[in-house]
A and B are shown apart, each in its own frame.
Chain A
Amino acid sequence: MTSSERLDAVISGTVPDRVPLAPLLDHWAAIHSGISVYDLMTDPDKRIRAILKTASDFKWDMTFLADTANETLLRIGVAARLKMPGVDLPANCAHQFEETGFMQVSDYALLETQGVVPFFLAIVGRIYPEMTMERALADLARVTEEIKEHGRLLRQSGIEPAVGFVIPGCSFEYFSLARGISEGLLDLRRHPETMRKAGKRYCADMLAMAISAIVQNGIQRVFVGLSRSSPVFVSTKHFETIILPEIEYIVNGFVNAGITPVLHCDTDWTKFLPYFQKFPAGKCILELDGFTDIKAAKEILGKRMAIMGDVPSTLTANGTKDEVLDYCRNLIKTVGVGGGFILSTGCSIPVNAKEENILALTEAVEEWGWYQ
């Protein structure tokens, strides 16, 4: 099977020839290929060369286009001020965000009545007063073209680009950054209706924007970020009444457009996994980061969606190669039973991951990942 066929088989619920391998790559591409993290984040040509080298060296089936370390996307898409390695932080570390709450309660009404573009421009203008709106829009247009070209280059090398767009899985993911996590969580109690109305507009506009971008770049998968809407942060009541309806709307919208949602679930989602049984069968990937019980996910959702994960970042950074091999073998022998499993890292590879530990993932699928 080709990498593409292998992934299609896993997503649709049939058994592939072997477990596909697709670690979440961002800053570590710079470390592996010997460029600075700053260059990776800011220079698209260096970025794609680093991605191609890393994914080829480790024989991955699918790789991310380091979307989560793309300076332009981070500045425009994340509602917190970016701190750059080599500028605001020491060189060759991961970027970080200063979360200071750039959104006011009144901005919910702006979003509801005018839509995401005026809303984003207002928020981005507050976070980066030095950035003009013309520059932001031009940068976004450039990145859209880059993603299309980078996807083509990867496919030329027999590697599948993981996703064609990155979107928060619900409006709360964005609001809780824009308002600050504490204020965002308090808004769920104090302004639930306001949030619900703004969230409805947010989801509709973001879904349309994502589908339009994916139609252009031809990468039929989408990164659906889910972190702060997890049971770690929100109660069952708020999840059921405010968050879940939006996730359902977004997932169904993508599936109806022929796009596979990659539900990127950070933190512990175990308690809420049964809700995911509502999503269409054979159409989604559930990506876990090592905090959710992945074996419980296999039991609850294994027949409905592919499960991807979840070698923890602490293991790739601080563990031994034997420990990583053991962890991978265990995943393949349990979560990988009967197909439906993609071996990956838990969230992205940390910048201090050891080379031999990343190689261990490749060796594990070669040794234990074949189904025939």
Chain B
Amino acid sequence: MTDNQDHNQLSRSMAELDEGSVDRMIGRLLLDGVAPLEIIHDLTAGMEDVSRLYQEEEYALGELIYAGVIFKNAMNRIRPCLKNENAESRGIVVMGTVKGDIHDLGKNIVIMLLECHGFGVIDLGVDVPRERFVNAIQQSGAKLLGMSALLTTALPEMQEVIRALDHAGLRDQVRIMIGGATASGKFGKEIGADFYGRDAVEGVNIAKHLYHVEGVS
């Protein structure tokens, strides 16, 4: 039998990045017949705490990445038990580093966190030409596009992507968030982006806000 304490313990172990405890707890909960979706819910709650601790500067990127690894391993264990249950995606997000830039650290951390929070992500990779952004939005119907760049020389390409979406008649159906060390809220406004994410957690909060997910901080 399981009770609330077990669920809380799993969330806490996830938040404290106790990989061994998360692994043991999942084994026990599955053995006790707890619905896999409930376990995923507990893990996601733990990830919320990880995000909060990151924003409070208790955790750094290293902890975010480690949390992602623990979560992914946990999901690999839970997934075969899902049977007919459907862990519905909270929404689709298209992500990519714009043409002229091959930096992908920030983008990859946003993707990892988005996936941990239940979003489906189409990762276009790095050095992405504007046409691929347009095609991905066209084909996926995603409501959110995330663009990243580190180099100052690549920043103008973000505006070109927005123009290309406009030209393709897609601008009204997609919201655009930008991020990267040299980007800023001011720059985002200048080029017509809808959101600027200062860090990966803000990126996830933007996605939650847009897809009306509860618990947006």
Contacts and interface: CB of A to CB of B under 8 A. Distances in A.
Interface of A: 83, 90, 93-94, 96-98, 181-182, 185-186, 188-189, 231-235, 238, 267, 271, 291, 313-314, 317-318, 350-352
B61 A352 contact: no
Given A352-B152, A352-B153, A96 B62 contact: no
Interface stretch (B78-86, B88-96, B97-105, B169-177): B97-105
Interface stretch (B63-71, B117-125, B140-148, B206-214): B63-71
A233 B66 contact: no
B9 interface: no
Given A186-B69, A314-B152, A350-B152, A96 B60 contact: no
A314 B184 contact: yes
A232 B153 contact: no
B152 A231 contact: no
25 contacts: A83-B102, A93-B100, A94-B153, A96-B103, A98-B102, A181-B105, A182-B108, A185-B61, A186-B66, A186-B69, A189-B66, A231-B60, A232-B60, A232-B61, A233-B60, A234-B62, A271-B57, A313-B182, A314-B187, A317-B153, A318-B152, A318-B155, A318-B187, A350-B151, A352-B152
Contacts of B61: 185, 232-234
Given A350-B153, A352-B152, 13 more contacts: A90-B100, A93-B100, A96-B101, A97-B102, A185-B61, A185-B62, A185-B66, A232-B60, A233-B60, A267-B181, A271-B57, A350-B151, A352-B153
A93 B66 contact: no
Contacts of B60: 231-235
B62 A238 contact: yes
B140 to A, nearest CB: 26
Contacts of A231: 57, 60
Nearest to A235: B60
The 3 A-B residue pairs with the shortest CB-CB distance, nearest first, are A185-B62, A317-B152, A350-B152
Interface of B: 57, 59-63, 65-66, 69, 100-103, 105, 108, 151-153, 155, 181-182, 184, 187
B153 A186 contact: no
A189 B68 CA distance: 14
A90 B157 CA distance: 14
A27 to B, nearest CB: 10
**Most chain-A Cβ atoms within 10 A of its Cβ — which of B61, B62, B65, B103?**
B62
A182 B65 contact: yes
Contacts of A317: 152-153
B205 to A, nearest CB: 19
Contacts of A352: 152-153
A96 B153 contact: no
Nearest to B199: A232
Nearest to B108: A182
Contacts of A93: 100, 151, 153
B181 A291 contact: yes
A185 B152 contact: no
Contacts of B151: 93-94, 96, 350
B216 to A, nearest CB: 24
A276 B103 CA distance: 29
A185 B65 contact: yes
A271 B69 CA distance: 26
B192 to A, nearest CB: 16
A85 B108 CA distance: 25
Contacts of A351: 153
Contacts of A235: 59-60, 62-63
B16 to A, nearest CB: 13
Contacts of B181: 267, 291
A10 B4 CA distance: 62
Nearest to B99: A90
A133 to B, nearest CB: 28
Nearest to B69: A186
Contacts of B62: 185-186, 188-189, 233-235, 238
B54 to A, nearest CB: 11
A234 B63 CA distance: 8
A271 B59 CA distance: 12
A351 B134 CA distance: 28
Nearest to B183: A314
A99 to B, nearest CB: 8
Contacts of B100: 90, 93
Nearest to B58: A235
A371 B27 CA distance: 69
Contacts of A98: 102
A189 B67 CA distance: 12
Contacts of A238: 62
Contacts of B105: 181
